[in-house]
Structure 1
Amino acid sequence: MSDGLPKILSLALLLSLVYLFVAVVLAILRLTDKSGQEMARRIDQVTRGEGLGLEVGDIEKKHEMSGLRWLDVLLSRHAWSGRMEKILHQADIKAPLGIFVLLSLVFGVTGYLGSSLYVDNPLVRLGVGLALGCLPFKWVAMRKSKRMADFERQLPEALELVGRALRAGHTFTSGMGMVVSEFADPIRIEFQTTLEEINFGLGVTVALDNLMDRVDCPDLSFFVVSVKIQNESGGNLAEIISNISWLIRERFKLKGRIRVLSAEGRMAAWVLCLLPFGVSGVVKMVNPDYFNLLFIDPIGLIMSYLVIGLMTTGVLIIRKMVRIEV
């Protein structure tokens, strides 16, 4: 019976992966096929001279978080889905939120069932499943951080270009148009969206507020607030924008200096965090039965949980020490 248990678990793992993978693929195909069919139907109606066939309800924007109806209804009932949708937009990811939810389920079930083939402790299996289940959202967060960092690096030069355009006699919107034509993404697409909102009749301050809401960049708030104050009280906007550009550059220099000075502490943190696991792995390879007492005896289990808790606390403390906000 003990020999057949791994085979049963392996079969269950395979069936779960196949089912969830098929569900993800069907969600993607259904979402893309639905948009393609709708576009083809509208084009066919216009070609035959039947008009667009729009009803009153079609004027409203229809937004789906998933290609599956039941998953879309489930996600729309939770507030965190709205925040995740905003993060996906900031990361410039076109895939709907439901895809990442299904991928998280696939990775979580894979981690739990896969670890059950080697580990009998349910807490360890649950921890592995949760860790793998968070990987899709961790990738989204990393992509969002990289895109926002790219925007922040482009911002000083973009503001300097707007300031030079204002000193040359151009309007504020013309300066933003120069940024759109001269710079690459992500600042190009964000400034282009803001410029389109202004051209469609939205106020400058409202469009800039929307820009600040779309982009997670603290330095951008200096620019937006300065423009709003200048619109209300007047002043030399070109000089203000140039000063903000200089301030952002100085903050970058200070961040780089702090990163250099804290490099030794960050390296020490990595060594202290990975050393226990590395030593344990080597000992496990040399003497596989050496750690059995920690996972079998009740006192050993308590000691293991205590050590994991203390290590987690130490990691959080070290992370707080080496991360210095500017």
Structure 2
Amino acid sequence: MNTSFIVFAVLAFLAVVLLIEAAYLFWNSRHGASVKRMDERFRALSAGGSVSTEKLSILKQRMLSDSPFVTRLLSSVPRVQALDRQLQQSGLSWSVARFAAYTGAAAFGGAMTGFALQTPALVMAVLAALFGGIPALILRSRRAKRVAQLERQLPDAADLIARALRAGHSFPAALGMVGEELPQPLGGEFAIVFDEINYGVSMSDALLNMVNRVPVDDLRYFVIAVLIQREAGGNLAEILGSIGAIIRERLKLLGKVRVLSAEGRLSAWILAVLPFAIIALLSVLNPDYVKVFWTDPAGMQLAGASLAMMLCGILWMRKVVRIRV
């Protein structure tokens, strides 16, 4: 066999191996586990940070999208930072650009569904709006679920800090213990506070950053109590123990209220979904019967008035059955 051919084959093999290794290193440098952890930490700081305002605002703008052009475009949108904060509070790994892309894709899918069903332009617009709201509903659901989990974990965190203080540990060390002992998501939030304090951020700024990241009223009271104690003095362990007991009693009362109002909330859901379910069922079983709503001008007006009244009724029932404790 020709020696030159063997040398060429060996060199080609090494080149392919090096090319694969370079591709892997390039992918790992942008999408690896360590990069994802750093991205989550930067997102946490950018969504709620109030330390070194200029630097953190730059991080926040860069995290809106991977593309500088899209970042500049999104930065001009009003309240885009509030949306970025809600995405971080929900625990989702979405950026603002990805959320906007999902919303646009869902709206386009709704419009194409209406086009495939040969519905009028108004119905296509309604379907596009309904489908486009699916990512927002997912965001709202994940955020509410995470907030509820944070509320359930907060009494344990207050008790753990109180016990650590009684054992002689400092308050920053107690925060580090909470970050290590408690599971996600609250443990991660306290770990961020502990890291910020170690990096030179003042105690009050680190705690206020956590309040901005975690939309829980009980945590705000917890932070206010700690800051007041640092200014006025007092037994912090006893204060935190009392706060933990109060939060537990409030959660017990909230559970009782939810049990007593379960029937009313179920009735509200049934009344809200029933008209739309009947229209959808009739559209499948007897399309000619419902077709008058889309073809006749009076039917369009009647459908619009009915939809407006149903939406008002849904909002009213939601306000009635939603009890805050």
Distance change in 2, residues 1:265/1:303 (3 Å): same
Seen in structure 2, the aligned counterparts of structure 1 residues 160 and 301 have a Cα distance that, compared at 3 Å, is: same
Equivalent residue, structure 1, for 2:70:
71
Between 158-167 and 271-280, the greater mean CA deviation after superposition: 271-280
Letter in structure 2 aligned against 1:314 = G
3-state SS of paired residue (1:266): helix
Q: Deviation per CA, 1:19-50: give whole Å up to 9, x if none.
A: xxxxxxxxxxxxx969639x99xxxxxxxxxx
- How many residue pairs were aligned? 277
Gaps of 5+ in 2: 1-25, 36-54
Runs of 4+ aligned structure 1 residues displaced above 4 Å come to: 32-35, 58-62
In structure 2, how many angstroms separate the alpha carbons of the residues matched to 1:137 and 1:282?
26
Residue by residue, what CA displacement relative to the aligned partner does 1:131-184 show, whole Å, maximum 9, x if unpaired?
212222322222222222211111001100111111222211122122122111
State the secondary structure of the residue aligned to 1:120.
coil
- In structure 2, the CA distance between the partners of 1:89 and 1:280, relative to structure 1 (3 Å rule), is closer
Match of 1:189 in 2: 188
Letter in 2 for 1:269: A
* CA spacing shift, 1:237–1:99, aligned 2, 3 Å: same
Residue 270 and residue 199 in structure 1: after superposition, are their counterparts in 2 closer, same or farther (change >3 A)? same
Structure 2 distance, partners of 1:260, 1:207, is: 37
Provide the residue aligned with 2:230 in structure 1: 231
Q: Distance in 1 between matches of 2:145 and 2:65?
A: 25
Q: CA RMSD in A?
A: 2.5
| Aligned-partner SS, 2:287 | coil
Provide the residue aligned with 1:292 in structure 2: 291
Mapped partners of 1:248, 1:175: distance in 2:
19
Aligned-pair identity in percent equals: 36
2:35 equivalent to 1:36: no
TM-score (norm 2): 0.79
Change over 3 Å in CA distance of 1:257–1:66 after alignment to 2:
same
* 1:1-326 paired onto structure 2 within 5 Å: 36=30, 61=59, 63-326=62-325
Distance, in Å, in 1 between the alignment partners of 2:196 and 2:285 is: 65
Task: Name the amino acid aligned to 1:215.
Answer: V
Give the distance between the partners of 1:114 and 1:283, measured in 2 at CA.
Answer: 18
Structure 2 letter corresponding to 1:142: S
> Partner letter of residue 36 of structure 1?
R
Aligned-pair distance for 1:119? 4.0
Q: C-alpha separation between the residues in 2 aligned to 1:64 and 1:254?
A: 40
Residue identity matched to 1:140:
L
TM-score relative to the length of structure 1: 0.78
Letter in 2 for 1:177: G
Cα deviation, 1:187-232, whole Å, max 9, x if unaligned, reads: 1111011111112222211211111111111110111000111011
Residues 46-66 of structure 1: CA deviation (Å, up to 9, x unaligned)? xxxxxxxxxxxx997572422
Task: Report the CA distance shift for 1:87/1:318 in structure 2 as closer, same or farther (over 3 A).
Answer: same
Q: Distance in 1 between matches of 2:300 and 2:91?
A: 45
How far apart in 1 are the matches of 2:182 and 2:131?
37
Once the two structures are TM-superposed, the CA of residue 288 in structure 1 deviates from its matched residue by 2.6
- Deviations 1:53-97 (CA, angstroms, capped at 9, x unpaired): xxxxx9975724223333222101123221111112222333422
In 2, the alpha carbon distance for the partners of 1:284 and 1:106 equals 25
